[in-house]
Structures are given as structure tokens and as C-alpha cells.
Amino acid sequence: MKYCFSLLCLLLLSTSMYAQLDLPQSSPKASTSYRVGLTDVTVNYSSPAVKKRPIYGALVPFDQIWRAGANKCTDVSFGTDVKIGKVTVPKGKYSFFLIPKNGKTWTAILNSDTEQWGAYQYKAEKDLARIEVQVETLPKSIEHLQYRIEERGIDQGAIVFEWERKRVALPFSMETMKMAVANIEKATKEGKSDDLWAIHAEAAEFFLNNNGDPKTALAHINESVKLKPIVWNLWMQAKIQAKNNDYKSAVATAAKVGEASKSSKDEADYYKELEKEITTAVAGWKKK
């Protein structure tokens, strides 16, 4: 009895000491994050290496659920609601799995249980989204499994998985324009009076650069210029007037940019940066 007890204590001590060792891992932890539009996206995973092993159909069997990494299940976080396929996925963290297949598509899965080790406790009833994704064959083998997040416009992105010679992308989308408009409305109502000229200018620039309504952009920039006319917002006003096909007003406003540049050294320096762009644009507008 004493011998068994001593052996048990030794084993417990050894296990405790082993757990405290800080050693290089064969599949180290990794993480990647990126903001797509207004949505923060993060992937946490462990990254195994090929190590000259056959991977798909061997180490990673076909037609079986796979953690798409190593150790603890891979997890994905979305900072806003997103749409994957036809499914709306609420903002939050989800486990991510793949089902590799010997063909042109794999199955990608988001599951609500993020505390799994591997896929051993995976339950299909906790899936939020399943989507068939295209598989690409890479020209060269990638030794360490990796993820990245791609922006495909302000309202679309993709989580891209690559390992060995396979790449799959899980596309997602979100209502960035709707969120941005809500943020603009809130800022114009609640912003400090001294900041409103800049808020309206930033809103106008957003609509100008993201295929928004040019009339809405014009309303915002007109308000900005009325509150504080400077080189930045006057030049933007001219560009938005041209976007609205009002070239006569755009040329007249461009002339005001030069006058505004005389108000300070900073304004003069900024005008010098824009001067070539302004000259070229005005020459084109005069021909319209």
C-alpha cells in the first residue's frame, strides 16, 4: 500500500513538473486579425508542419471532421454580425472545422462550441453554418499551416486556409454601408460643435470613395465648408460637385482652394501637394 501511494505521488509530481515546462511546440499557437470594413475578424489556431508526411487522405483523412489545425480547435471571431452563405452568424466566437474531400470542394463549418480539444467532442447540432468551399491546388507546398483574412471590398471578406498544396477560402459578408450610415447619423447628432465640420467632411469623403450616393456626399461637404472652409474640404467639395456633373461649380470651388491656401503655412503646404492634381482635374472639367 505504501509503495502504491509513493508511486502515485511520484507520478503526480512528474506530471506537474512536465506541465510547467516551457518548450518549443511542434504545432505552435498562431493568430491573425484584420478589420474588414467595420468588422474585426480574428482566427486563433495551432500550426502543424508537413514534415515530409502525406497529408490529405492520410494524416488528415478525407470525409471526416477536422479541426483545421492542431491541438485545441481552431476558433474564429467576428466583431459584427456576418453572413456566410445564406446564414446570418451573430457577432462572437466560433470553432472552425473543415471536412476535406478528394474532389474540388470541401465543407467548412462554424460551430458554437469553442472549448473543444480537436474535434473529439464535435456535435453537428451545434453548427451555425455549413458551406461548400472551392479547393485550389497550390504550385508549391506550404510547410506550416496558416490562415489569413482577405478584404474583398468594404462589405466582403474571406478567411483563407493554406497548408501543403491546398487552399480554401470561407467567404463572408456584412452590412458595412448600413453600419457606417448609422455611425455618421449618430456622430452628426452627438458630436461637439467644434468637430462637426470634420465629421461632415469625413462622411462626405466616405460616400465619395465608396460608391455612396453623390447627393448625400454633397450635402455633407456643403455643411462642412459652411462651418469651416479650408483646403481639404473645399477640394473635396469640388470633386463631389464634379461627381454630381456640376462642372461649372467644381471649377469655381477649385479656385477657392487656392485662396484658402493663403490662410496659413500648413494650408499652403497642403495645397502644394494637391496642386498638380487640381490643375489636371480642372482642365478636364472645363472641357465637359
Q: Which residue ranges form the domains of the chain, and what is each CATH number? A: 25-173 (no CATH), 176-285 (1.25.40.10)
Q: Tell me, what's the pLDDT at 19?
A: 54
Distance CA 83, CA 222 (A): 36
Least confident of 15-24, 68-77, 251-260, 270-279: 15-24
Q: How confident is the model at residue 22 (pLDDT cuts 50, 70, 90)?
A: confident
User: What's the pLDDT at 159?
Assistant: 98
Cβ 72 vs Cβ 116: under 8 Å? yes
Residue 37: φ, ψ to 5°: 65, -110
Mean pLDDT of 276-282: 96
Higher-pLDDT residue of 249 and 9 is 249
Q: Write the CB contacts of 93 (distance below 8 Å, at least 6 apart in sequence).
A: 75, 76, 77, 114
Q: pTM for the whole thing?
A: 0.84
Say what the alpha-carbon torsion angle 63, 68, 69, 73 is, to the nearest 10 degrees: -100
Average the pLDDT over 225-251 and give the result: 96
**What pLDDT does residue 26 have?**
85
The pLDDT value recorded for residue 10 is 43
Average pLDDT over residues 5-33: 66
Distance CA 11, CA 114 (A): 31
Rg of the Cα atoms in the chain: 28
Nearest C-alpha neighbor of 78 from the set 114, 52, 110, 40: 40
Q: Which string of DSSP letters, residue by residue, matches 120-160?
A: TT--GGGEEEEEEEEEEEEEEEEEEEEEEEEE-STTEEEEE
Encode pLDDT of 121-176 as tens digits: 899 999 999 999 999 999 999 999 999 999 999 999 999 999 999 999 999 999 99
Q: How confident is the model at residue 188 (pLDDT cuts 50, 70, 90)?
A: very high
User: Which whole-number Å values give the CA distances from 28 to 65, 69, 111, 114, 279, in the listed order?
Assistant: 21, 10, 23, 18, 55
- Average pLDDT taken over every residue of the chain: 92
Whether pLDDT at 8 is above 70: no
